[in-house]
Chain A
Amino acid sequence: MSDERIIFRGVSKFYGEVLGVNRVNLEFKPGLTGLVGPNGSGKSTLMHLMTGLLSPTKGEISVLGIPPNRPERLFRAVGYCTQYDSFPAGATGATFLRQTLLLHGMDRGQADARAWEVLEQVGLTDAARRKIAGYSKGMRQRIKLAQALCHRPSVMVLDEPLNGLDPMGRAEMIQLFREMADEGRYVIVSSHILHEVDLISDAVVMIHGGTVVAEGGIREVRAEIKSQPIQVLIRCDRPHAVAGRLFDFKHVVDVRILGDGEGLMVRTEDARSFFADLTGVIVESGVAVETVMPADETVHAVYDYLIGQPGGTT
């Protein structure tokens, strides 16, 4: 397997008779990949498989050329922020990070310096000497993130990393993930907060019932879904005039005037033809157009089409 990719090849995982994931074939690229799916779809299972915390029943996994059953090599390159909200008994924030860094081979001085650097990055310097068991939910989430990124890994696997964070914290972490992705690192984030995944992801992997239902950039994924006509939002001064003309085109399935009377939502089976025809309509009718944009090239919409269950909004 190639050295610079994260690859799943025919991976299945069964917990006894219960299916975790089934015949997953995936290749993650550098950048920020959102892993979305409903509860119990297999997101955490995929992450555990990628990090060696679970062994696949079938198939092969390679993370930058390293098999996940070699933790001594894997965790030099990988940082994993799990979903588990539990910590070693009696650990303080500082000792928790220091222990991790010492095991990475740093000496005491380096480990302490780096630990404080990361604690500052996640905003926990004041609480560093307190026991983690006494932290709030948001603080525990931050220390988990700190543990995942303290050794500067090339691959960050983050299972619902924004859980429990306040809006400021979420914004800061999102910016951090974006910066890491822009550096060329692999950042894999699982979430049900679809609008956030939309905002930050370069690519999306959608998983449902243990099976990958879509992967790639959200636009490409949306374009593949032929069964659902594309929705386009047009805001203009004379929506009725535009609507009347649009009905002449065969590829237009549906036109709806918006409630505020200042726009229309069009559903079309052929996006390319639609945009070409729309230009002519606008020029001929002399309508003043404010906005033309695809309305369902979002993770939320694609999630709805492919998985059919409501995604999260908080």
Chain B
Amino acid sequence: MRGLRRRQTVIIARTEVARSIFSRRVLPVLLLVGMPLSLALLRGLFMPEARRANIGHTTADFAQMFFFFYLRFIVFFSCAVLFVKLFRGEILERSLHYSLMAPVRRRVLVVGKYLGGLASTWILLLGATVVIFVLFYVAHGSLGLRYLISGAGIADLAGYLGVVALACAAYGALFLLAGLYFKNPMVPAVLFLGWEAATPFLPAALKALSIVHYLGSLLPVPPVMGPLAMLAQPVAPWVAILGVLASIGVSLALAVRKARRLEVTYSAD
């Protein structure tokens, strides 16, 4: 029986990956990812010659771009686009009943769809992160290439990939849940974006309810926060990872609970 559940999870996940990546659904994500990619390309083209000899600027620039643009907007909205559609998309398409009419536990259905969404976001966003990171340093020619294949470069890239992977997992679970609970999940998503933007100004107890607060603590190169640096209050890496995992756990548990009570009515949504 456990073997069957595992197989069903894989089948559902595989189906979602195919629907997410090999369909029109991927276009908004490609457009989103195209923005930092084009920025990286432009940066390489417009970089003054004097700067090409100094890798340090690039490390700092990438850290800024990664935290303030890529993580907060590109990863956020990419996860929103892909994960919200897992259930809410089927409800709006009026095809959810096929998922509910399979001999599959609702828990397996939720986990399968989540893993499918996660695999899709990892394929797209981790891949994009690598390309953007490489483009940033390739502008420095052989100096950049040496850095990329050195321990420090690989360690930094691994750190950023880890943060993106965790971000996809955490935001994905949240948006999967939002898709189950809300008829229009993008409105609470945008409200949550606002909440995350206000994180530096929140007290520590409320900071704990923000995913970007934990992700910021895991960055291999901390971004320059300016006057907000005093308010940032980063946490220890193990606390940050636990915090992210806890948010994933809570979101998925609530999602399973909601999925068990799902009814097919397809009223005007």
Q: Do chains A and B touch in the complex (CB under 8 A)?
A: yes
Check A53–B95 contact: CB distance below 8 A. no
A85 to B4, CA, bound (A): 30
Closest to A73 in B: B103
Contact digits for B246-269, partner A, Cβ 8 Å, 1 yes 0 no: 000000000000001101111000
A100 touches B263 (CB 8 A): no
B97 to chain A, nearest CB (A): 6
Chain A interface residues toward B at CB < 8 A: 15, 48, 51-55, 69, 71-76, 80, 82, 84, 86-90, 99-100, 102-105, 147
Across the interface, which residues of A come within 8 angstroms of B93, CB to CB? 86, 88-89
Docked-complex contact B101 and A53, CB < 8 angstroms: yes
Q: B8 touching A103 by the CB < 8 A rule?
A: yes
| Interface pair A82/B97, CB less than 8 Å apart | yes
Contacts of B23 in A (CB 8 A): 89-90
Q: How far is the CA of A103 from the CA of B101 in the complex (A)?
A: 10
A115 CA to B166 CA, complexed, in Å: 39
Residue numbers in A under 8 Å from B260 (CB-CB)? 69
- The residue on A at minimum CB distance from B100 is A53
Please determine whether B265 and A54 come into contact, CB atoms closer than 8 angstroms: yes
Contact, CB under 8 Å: B100 / A71: yes
Set of chain A residues within 8 Å of B103, measured between Cβ atoms = 71-76, 103-105
Q: How far is the CB of B236 from chain A (nearest CB, A)?
A: 42
A84-B266, A99-B15 as given contacts; A51 in contact with B101, CB under 8 Å: yes
C-alpha gap A99/B12 in the complex (Å): 9
Q: Report if B19 contacts A (CB, 8 A).
A: yes
User: Which A residues touch B108, using CB under 8 A?
Assistant: 72
CB-CB contacts of B82-96 with A at 8 A, as 1s and 0s? 000000001001110
Q: Given A53-B263, A88-B90, A103-B11: A72 and B101 within 8 A (CB)?
A: no
Determine the residue in chain B with the shortest Cβ distance to A80: B101
Q: B102 an interface residue at 8 Å Cβ cutoff? A: yes
Q: Name the one of A15, A48, A55, A88 contacting B98, with C-beta atoms under 8 angstroms.
A: A88
